[in-house]
Structure 1
Amino acid sequence: MRLFKISLKNVKHNIKNYTMYILSMVVCIAIFYNFMCAGSSDDIEIMKDFTSMRALIGMCVFILILFFISFMNYSTEFFVSRRKKEFGIYTFMGVENKKIAYLFAQEGLIIGIISVISGIILGIVTNRMFMMGMAKVVGENTSIDFEISYTSIIYTFIIFAFILMYSFIREYIKIIRMETSELLKSGRSDMKDYKIKSSWLRFSIGILGLVMFISGGYIALNYLDYNLNMSHVIIISPLLMIIGINLMCRGFITEVVLRISKNKKILYKGTNIINFSSMSFNFIKNNKVLAITSVLIVCCITAFTSGLSTKMMFKDLMISKFPYSVAASVQDKNQEMTVKKAFDSERGRELFNTDFDYIKAELYMNSNFGEYKEKDPIISYSDYERIRNIQLDPLKKNMKIEKPDDNEIVCLIPSNIMGVSFGKEANMNGKIYNICEQKTGYIFSEDIEGNTDMAFVVSDDTYKTIRSSSNKEDIYKYMVISLKNYRETENISKTLDNTGIEFSDAHNFIQRDYQMFNLIYFISVFMSIVFVIAIGSMLYFRYITSAIDEKMKFDIMRKIGVDSKFINKSVIYQAILFFFIPYVIGISGGIFGGIFAKNALNVMGISPILEAIGIFTLIYIVYIFITARKYLREIR
């Protein structure tokens, strides 16, 4: 009982040190609880793709559990480092290591229980908002009632109880095995390691890591050019990048700092003489944390970019599947007159009303998924450009192509075909054409041409040649209209129904059929939040731990008359660099991963990547500021 009271007093005394840990845990546990509720909610269960959604949510829950185990391990190591000297004093007072370890384990459990209970309460308070947000994002108009899921509360508490027990038993064993001298040397340990010598082996390993990192990124960006299978790239590219990041952080960064510090003009400028010695020490001591956080940044940027790309993909989905209000494919004059009459009924309400010819031709090509053999539509370059210039903005902006020569062909890939690329040549009607460009395109509407079919653009002369040798049944006229009120197409649909004419109507686009796209976006945002908390907290705990070791150094500097502004400037500079290294590596990898995800989803432009990096950077800067401020307090 007496030890328990001491534990409670210690928790109250050290509550400021636990603040970052508690806040991080509370937010993450609240997210975890909400995901648990979403997986079993009756309101969410009515959604069309609930089975797939539950599987996706289950995967996120599993990832969160792994994160919590790692996060608690790092945070408890931080707390032990801070308390080593205090534990050593307890030892001199005659307290056994077992009791010290038990005391610390009790403190950890108290803090853990506070975090879990607070996190569950926050999760309960925000649950209805979370569910409503999910329902709205996936296109459901379901009414969400406030409810408390007792099953989710029990599961959340049990899971975190096991994680807490594992984490603090691990530290309990560590403390028991510590010698008294080790407990008392806090603040002096590793001072000799400030004199770090340059190593060609370390430098060579770092160069190898850099090569592997760049190779992984290059494969992610250019796999289509080499017809590599996407499923293989998803394994090979991340593996190369993760190994590369670990090798770079294992000492390569330290080598770079050491080699820069040999330049006396740089070394004796400002606070650099302090910064370079401390940075070398910190990078060597914390290379594992720098590697882990760099990988987490890659995951965070990639996940966030994937979510934003999915959101953008969904926004463009209706336009890509229905680029016109109504489109019809006809082959004779009677059908053409019927469609013209239907379109004329909307006179004055249309944005544009036009038509173009196309031909169905057999094409043979090699792709990264095997041999491709289909009968696909061919259009002329002039018709393509005419349609593109009167079309809605997404098509007009993003689908500009180079004019093909007579022996060239441009491949338009539908947005629903992901990760496909073709070779350099296509065999059409027995003649070989060079594939000069491959573009994500939607010149045809869904349910006519372009839903699962490719489309190809050829020069005007080539089109005339192909048309002259084609059978009549392979020649079509494509008639399209877009209205000012895009989806008000009932009048046209009534006229064309039961005529036997193949047509596509934008009114048939059902948002509910694409719930998974929006759910991926929703989940990726919350997973990115967890990744950001993990990254910032790990770097915070690790960097603040070094304050314990460096406090004596700064005390000596003050005694010999070093100005406080000089020390503050040095600390801020070191904090920025400590966070900057994993940031640069992680953002570089995140750009590779983000471009890969964006290309796999057939999303045009780089705005998802820039938005993901921008939001992450703002949050990251806040963590740097908090860490530098806390570090300055520690060394005073």
Structure 2
Amino acid sequence: MLFKLSIRNMRKSIKDYMIYFMTLVLGVAVFYVFNSLESQQAMLSISNDTREIVALITEMINYVSVFVSIILGFLIVYANNFLIKRRKKEFGVYMTLGMGKKNISVILLVETILIGLLSLVIGLIIGIFASQLTSIIVAKMFSADMSHYQFVYSSAATFKSILYFGIIYLIVMVFNMISIGRYQLIDLLQAHRKNESIKTKNLGICVLLFLVSVGMLAFAYYQVTQVFNGSQIELLGQMILVGCVGTFLLFYSLSGFILRVVQMNKGHYLKGLNCFVLRQMNATINTTVVSISIICLLQFFTICILSTAFAINETIKKDLRDLNPVDVSITSYVSMNEGIQGNESDVFDVLNKVDITSADFSEYTFANVYNANVYMKDSLAPIVDEIHDSFPYLQLDDAEETFMSVSDYNKIAKQFGNEQIELANNQYAAICDYDNMKNLRDKSLSKGTPITINGQSLVPKYDHCIYGFVVNSASHMNMGIIVVPDQFVMNMELRAMHFNADYAGDQEHTKLMEERFRTLEENGDLAYTVYSRIAMAENATGLTALFVFIGLYLGIIFLISGAAILALKQLSESSDNVERYKILRKIGTSERMINHSLFVQIGIFFAMPLSLACIHSIFGIQVANKLLALFNQNDMLAPIAITAIFIIMIYGSYFVITYLGSRSIIKEDSMV
């Protein structure tokens, strides 16, 4: 009997369950997709190093999944609270007919289990098929061979999804039974007549709080964009806290005076159903200040996380193309290998151990770098105080400058396709590709800062750093090398030597060379650091994948959570306001006007937190760029566009379903 009643109730309330059901399905599908990554790599032909990278990503996702489960747990409890509230009158009727709270709890338990099982099954099915797309993404990222592609099912991801989902649902069931046990019959029967209490706020205090909130946000924006330099983590934490408080105060103050401000414009306020919509919105904001503030912050973090993740992805790809002009770079530092003399034979003596000779390379260059007892405090003397204030962790007194002869640098510059340099006997130049350091050096060079080598003073030829680097790299990491006329390096202390080369031969020969270099590294015989273009691409791609997958995982969950809370709150408001819509119909308001007012009301409610989140993100993305200055991010247009697509897809879907659900509620209930 109770089971049949539960089935009948589910069919009758299917529209009420739509948002709840959609959220559960999306949550399960996303959870499965990201936790099935380990299984996806099993069928791909990738190297052992890449498998280790994928294993690391999988481990990170496992940790993030715990956090995601907690978020989904709170979300499901919130959704259940809405459903119970929506059906209070129904439960009151059951009790009037003699049904006990225990039986009502059983009905609710059966419904919860059924909707949970249905959403779990559908979510897993969607996740299984969607995860095949993950295989393609992983394969593309790691340049894997998909010739042996086959449909992949992850039992481990399924088990994790069922386990976490089961624990969350167990908590929800207990919550439901406790909630039903607390209600009295009179409360259930009169639930439709009770609305959340709204306290009238003092207009003057609200205006003052609005000004304070705007001031707090402006102060936080200024601090993180103009004062924060990427290393002041304590300052960043303080400004995030200021921003959170400012966000709450902004929404709190708006709910107290925005209606009165609009009322001053009588022509607009009294037009159509504007007065009804604005009063409804004012009441809604009054009772959801905390929720809207949290959702705004969630959306802010979502935009920043997704935009930054996609930006890092694009930047690393570009850097791999630009910063790896040769097949392999080899560097040896004297401090790590005291036997080197700075000759080509030093390199080939080691390479010959695995049958690598000069004939294996189509072109190669060899260059040395030196020390000259010149420190950054000398080459950056005019701006030392400024650097100490802005970068307190940069120890200029201990940072020794690196020198290279102009002929050696020009050989590498020609090979890499970079600008070559000509110097007079009393001139020097600085090469650099790390933006933050380049800005500092440019300031010093523009002041004509001289350096002294062996008692002879050299002046800069250029008032800025020349873009350049001397070995393969995954990112812009050249902090600066000073290029001097050849005669000045003759008496300098050898610091390191660089060997850059392209392989001779076809793809098979390249593969063989990579294996030989890997063998030397694994055996510990190579006293040199090898920067292989292929190995650098694999490692950098792993870092890219880590950022992208974690960013997508958290971003989508945050989006779903924020949109679902807004949707459920608006559906609850529509249910509470049915009587008001009945009155509108009685006084002759058309359905078209009512639907339009409902659309505008829901649109404003969804747009408010998103609008402020977008403003926050303008400054938040700048902070992310400072924190990730290593990646030299510049063009954020494409990442922001991709993020916008994600937001429109998920946020827009919830908005449409919320509008249709709310319209259905006010129509059906008006006919009762």
TM-score, normalised relative to structure 2: 0.72
Q: Does 1:110 align with 2:135?
A: no
Equivalent position SS for 1:48: helix
Alignment partner of 1:229 out of 232, 238, 250 = 232
Aligned to 1:401: none
Q: Does 1:239 align with 2:270?
A: no
Q: How far is 1:481 from its partner?
A: 11
Aligned mates of 2:492, 2:509 — CA distance in 1: 29
Aligned to 1:371: 395
Q: Does 1:454 align with 2:458?
A: no
Q: Does 1:606 align with 2:636?
A: yes
Q: How far is 1:456 from its partner?
A: 6.7
Q: Does 1:511 align with 2:542?
A: no
- Count of equivalent residues: 596
* 1:485-634 to 2 correspondences below 5 Å: 507=533, 510-514=536-540, 515-601=542-628, 602=631, 603-619=633-649, 620-634=651-665
* 1:147-162 to 2 correspondences below 5 Å: 147-162=152-167
Equivalent position SS for 2:3: helix
Q: How far is 1:553 from its partner?
A: 0.7
Q: How far is 1:317 from its partner?
A: 2.6
Q: Does 1:96 align with 2:96?
A: no
Contact 1:321 1:446 in 2 (8 A): yes
Aligned mates of 2:431, 2:258 — CA distance in 1: 47
Higher deviation after alignment, 47-56 or 575-584: 47-56
Alignment partner of 1:180 out of 185, 194, 212 = 185
Equivalent position SS for 1:374: coil
Residue type of the alignment partner of 1:259: V
TM-score, normalised relative to structure 1: 0.76
Contact 1:378 1:455 in 2 (8 A): no
Q: How far is 1:281 from its partner?
A: 0.2
Aligned mates of 1:421, 1:600 — CA distance in 2: 18
Residue type of the alignment partner of 1:583: L
Aligned mates of 1:185, 1:605 — CA distance in 2: 57
Q: How far is 1:411 from its partner?
A: 6.6
Equivalent position SS for 2:193: coil
Q: How far is 1:377 from its partner?
A: 5.3
Aligned mates of 1:595, 1:150 — CA distance in 2: 41
Aligned to 2:134: 130
Residue type of the alignment partner of 2:232: N
Aligned to 2:424: none
Equivalent position SS for 1:595: helix
Aligned mates of 1:503, 1:228 — CA distance in 2: 29
CA-to-partner distance for each residue in 1:246-265, whole Å, 9 max, x for gaps?
33333435433443333334
Contact 1:309 1:598 in 2 (8 A): no
Aligned to 1:21: 20
Contact 2:231 2:627 in 1 (8 A): no
Alignment partner of 1:413 out of 431, 434, 454 = 434
Higher deviation after alignment, 568-577 or 369-378: 369-378
Higher deviation after alignment, 285-294 or 608-617: 608-617
Aligned mates of 1:554, 1:170 — CA distance in 2: 32
Relative to structure 1, is the Cα distance of residues 167 and 276 closer, same or farther in structure 2, using a 3 angstrom cutoff? Answer: same
CA-to-partner distance for each residue in 1:531-583, whole Å, 9 max, x for gaps?
22222222111111110111111110110112322222211111111011111
Residue type of the alignment partner of 1:160: F
Equivalent position SS for 2:16: helix
Contact 1:11 1:107 in 2 (8 A): yes
Aligned to 2:337: none
Aligned mates of 2:330, 2:22 — CA distance in 1: 58
CA-to-partner distance for each residue in 1:70-123, whole Å, 9 max, x for gaps?
210221122112212212222322333343233223312221122122223333
Higher deviation after alignment, 10-19 or 204-213: 204-213
Contact 1:78 1:545 in 2 (8 A): yes
Relative to structure 1, is the Cα distance of residues 57 and 479 closer, same or farther in structure 2, using a 3 angstrom cutoff? Answer: closer
Higher deviation after alignment, 585-594 or 283-292: 585-594
Q: Does 1:311 align with 2:310?
A: no
- Say what the alpha-carbon RMSD is for the aligned residues: 5.2
Aligned mates of 1:611, 1:388 — CA distance in 2: 36
Aligned mates of 1:271, 1:408 — CA distance in 2: 71
Q: How far is 1:61 from its partner?
A: 0.7
Aligned mates of 2:466, 2:92 — CA distance in 1: 66
Residue type of the alignment partner of 1:592: F
Q: Does 1:321 align with 2:342?
A: no
Aligned to 1:339: none
Q: How far is 1:585 from its partner?
A: 1.6
Contact 1:409 1:433 in 2 (8 A): no
Aligned mates of 2:486, 2:306 — CA distance in 1: 47
Equivalent position SS for 1:294: helix
Contact 1:368 1:421 in 2 (8 A): no
Contact 2:362 2:502 in 1 (8 A): no
Aligned mates of 1:486, 1:261 — CA distance in 2: 77
Aligned mates of 2:498, 2:76 — CA distance in 1: 62
Contact 1:187 1:551 in 2 (8 A): no
Q: Does 1:250 align with 2:252?
A: yes
Aligned mates of 2:466, 2:569 — CA distance in 1: 45
Residue type of the alignment partner of 1:43: A
Aligned mates of 2:138, 2:475 — CA distance in 1: 31
Higher deviation after alignment, 210-219 or 533-542: 210-219
Aligned mates of 1:104, 1:302 — CA distance in 2: 40
Higher deviation after alignment, 134-143 or 288-297: 134-143
Aligned to 1:403: none
Alignment partner of 1:284 out of 283, 286, 289 = 286
Aligned to 1:9: 8
Q: How far is 1:628 from its partner?
A: 2.1
Relative to structure 1, is the Cα distance of residues 612 and 597 closer, same or farther in structure 2, using a 3 angstrom cutoff? Answer: farther
Aligned mates of 1:565, 1:269 — CA distance in 2: 15
Aligned mates of 1:577, 1:153 — CA distance in 2: 39
